[in-house]
């Protein structure tokens, strides 16, 4: 399975995916790292691993259709089968969602469908979790559809919220499990163990 990773930030989830591949846990290759930011740390991670990079931003195009066309062209050039959003902060153009239906994954640093949607990224998520008083947070891997953070859930794992948590300590706890469940979810796709039934996703433990 060829994975195209989209990232806007430092790329620690991208690094976790690469680690799983290098350890032989995840039977896949990353054939492309796409970023909307020319200064994303994820680009450096790609370069030091010999992975092709591309910087594509809406600013380079007059409209969404031309951005989508360029993305699809690049995805084809790199023979990408599945797209993994790893801290990618832009909306995926509708034409790309359609072309890669059920083949785009995202990782979100909370238990969706709570604490998701537009504006819910980075520290905003953890601040909202702490302000709500919930006692559990966690991470969610889900399929990307036309709406922000709303597609079918693939894997979730929880972390406890405790009274001493700050947005920073909670983010660190959540990030640790993100690095575990994202490679797991991708492994299930790579091994064809993912079943979609009535809009829900189920992972089989064996083939
Ligand atoms: C992660 O918390 C992820 O859940 C969110 O953005 C952050 C990206 O971190 N979507 P990194 O760039 O993978 O380190």
Separation between Cα atoms, residue 1 and residue 188, nearest integer Å: 11
Find the domain containing 140 and state its range: 2-203
3-state percent helix, strand, coil for the chain, nearest multiple of 5? 35, 25, 40
Tell whether the model's pLDDT for residue 206 goes beyond 90: no
Tell whether the model's pLDDT for residue 22 goes beyond 80: yes
User: What is the predicted pLDDT for the residue at 65?
Assistant: 96
On average, the pLDDT of the chain sits at 97
Catalytic sites, residue numbers:
108
pLDDT in tens, 55-79: 999 999 999 999 999 999 999 999 9
Kind and range of the H or E run holding 94: helix 94-99
Does 193 contact ligand 1 (Cβ within 6 A)?
no
Does 154 contact ligand 1 (Cβ within 6 A)?
no
Nearest-CA residue for ligand 1 atom 5 is 87
Does 116 contact ligand 1 (Cβ within 6 A)?
no
Tell me, what CATH number does 162's domain have?
Answer: 3.40.50.170
Over residues 7-24, mean pLDDT: 98
Listed residue (121, 93, 127) closest to 107, CA to CA? 121
* pTM above threshold 0.85: yes
User: What is the predicted pLDDT for the residue at 185?
Assistant: 98
Does 4 contact ligand 1 (Cβ within 6 A)?
no
In this structure, what is the dihedral angle of CA atoms 113, 203, 82, 152, given to the nearest 10 degrees?
A: -20
Exposed e or buried b per residue across 136-170, where buried means at least 16 C-beta atoms within 10 angstroms of its C-beta: ebbbbbbbbbeebbebebbbbeebebeeebebeeb
Q: How many domains does the chain have?
A: 1
Percent of the chain with pLDDT over 70: 100
Going from the Cα of 7 to the center of ligand 1, the distance in angstroms, rounded, reads 8
In this structure, what is the dihedral angle of CA atoms 31, 12, 160, 203, given to the nearest 10 degrees?
A: 10
User: What is the predicted pLDDT for the residue at 207?
Assistant: 55
For residue 42, give the ligand 1 atom closest to its CA: 12
Percent of the chain with pLDDT over 90: 96
Beta-bridged to residue 5, according to DSSP, are 33, 84
Going from the Cα of 114 to the center of ligand 1, the distance in angstroms, rounded, reads 17
Listed residue (68, 80, 92) closest to 186, CA to CA? 80
Task: State which of 121, 176, 178 you would mutate to test the pocket of ligand 1, scoring each by most atoms of that ligand within 8 A of its C-beta.
Answer: 178
Listed residue (159, 95, 168, 82) closest to 125, CA to CA? 168
The tokens for 133 are 């008083």
Tell whether the model's pLDDT for residue 83 goes beyond 70: yes
Separation between Cα atoms, residue 72 and residue 81, nearest integer Å: 11
Over residues 184-205, mean pLDDT: 95
pLDDT category of residue 128 using cuts at 50, 70 and 90: very high
CA angle, corner 177, sides to 176 and 179, nearest 5? 70
Nearest-CA residue for ligand 1 atom 9 is 87
C-alpha dist (Å) from residue 91 to 6, 27, 48, 67, 87: 11, 28, 27, 11, 11
pLDDT category of residue 140 using cuts at 50, 70 and 90: very high
Going from the Cα of 111 to the center of ligand 1, the distance in angstroms, rounded, reads 14
Beta-bridged to residue 30, according to DSSP, are 3
């Amino acid at each position: 399975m060829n994975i195209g990773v989209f990232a806007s930030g430092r790329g620690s989830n991208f690094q976790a995916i690469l680690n799983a591949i290098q350890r032989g846990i995840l039977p896949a290759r990353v054939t492309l790292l796409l970023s909307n930011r020319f200064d994303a740390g994820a680009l450096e991670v790609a370069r030091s691993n010999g992975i092709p990079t591309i910087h594509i931003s809406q600013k380079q195009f007059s409209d969404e259709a031309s951005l989508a066309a360029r993305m699809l062209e690049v995805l084809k050039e790199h023979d990408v089968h599945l797209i993994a959003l790893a801290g990618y902060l832009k909306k995926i153009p509708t034409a790309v969602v359609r072309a890669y239906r059920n083949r785009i994954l995202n990782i979100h640093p909370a238990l969706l469908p709570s604490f998701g949607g537009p504006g819910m990224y980075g520290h905003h998520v953890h601040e909202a979790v702490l302000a709500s008083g919930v006692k559990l947070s966690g991470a969610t891997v889900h399929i990307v559809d036309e709406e922000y953070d709303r597609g079918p859930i693939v894997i979730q794992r929880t972390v406890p919220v405790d009274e001493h948590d700050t947005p920073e300590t909670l983010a660190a706890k959540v990030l640790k499990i993100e690095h575990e469940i994202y490679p797991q979810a991708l492994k299930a796709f790579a091994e064809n163990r993912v079943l979609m039934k009535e809009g829900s996703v189920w992972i089989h433990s064996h083939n």
